[in-house]
Amino acid sequence: MAMAKPAPETYPDMVCFGFLMLFSGATDLYIIITNPHYNLPIFGVTLTGWAGWLVKLVAPPIHFVAGYGAIWGRKWAYPLLMIYALYGLMSATVNRLHLPPPHRIRTIFIIATLLFMGYLYARRNHFRN
C-alpha cells in the first residue's frame, strides 16, 4: 500500500504575503485605469505613449502571478519574486541617482525591498511545490 505524500510545510506569513501581492496587483491596475496620464519613471527615464502604457501594464500580471505562487508555495515563484524585486531595486536606485528630489519614497522603497528580499530568502523553503 502506497503511503500518501505529506503536504509541504506552509508558512502563514508567506500566504499572507501572497494575498498582499494579489492586492498590490489590483491596486496597480486601479491606479493605471484611474490615472491614465501618469508616466512611470523606469531607470531614470519616463516613457510616454504606448511604451509607457506597456511598462505600466506589466506590473499587475506579475503581482497576480507572484501572489498565486507565494500562496501555494510554487518553486517558480521564488525566483520570480527575487528577480522582480531586484528589477524594482535597480530601477529605484537609478531613479534616485538621476531624477530630482525629493527621494523619500524612493529611499523607503529601496530599504523595504532590501528587507523584503532578505525575508524572502529566509523563507525560501516555502517554495517547494
The verdict on residue 1 lying in a domain is no
Q: Could you report the per-residue pLDDT of 56-112, keeping only the tens digit for each?
A: 999 999 999 999 999 999 999 999 999 999 999 999 999 999 999 989 999 999 999
The verdict on residue 101 lying in a domain is yes
Range 18-25 average pLDDT: 96
pLDDT of 38 reads 85
Cell of residue 31, nine digits: 491606479
d(CA 64, CA 29): 11
The verdict on residue 17 lying in a domain is yes
Q: Give Dmax (Cα) for the chain.
A: 68
Name the residue with cell 524572502.
120
Cell of residue 17, nine digits: 504575503
List the domain range (segments joined by +) for residue 97. 12-126
The verdict on residue 6 lying in a domain is no
HSE (side-chain half, CA atoms, 13 Å) at 14: 25
The verdict on residue 5 lying in a domain is no
Q: Could you report the per-residue pLDDT of 26-41, keeping only the tens digit for each?
A: 999 999 999 988 888 8
Q: Considering its fold, how many domains does the chain have in total? A: 1
Helix (H, G, I), strand (E, B) or coil at 42: strand
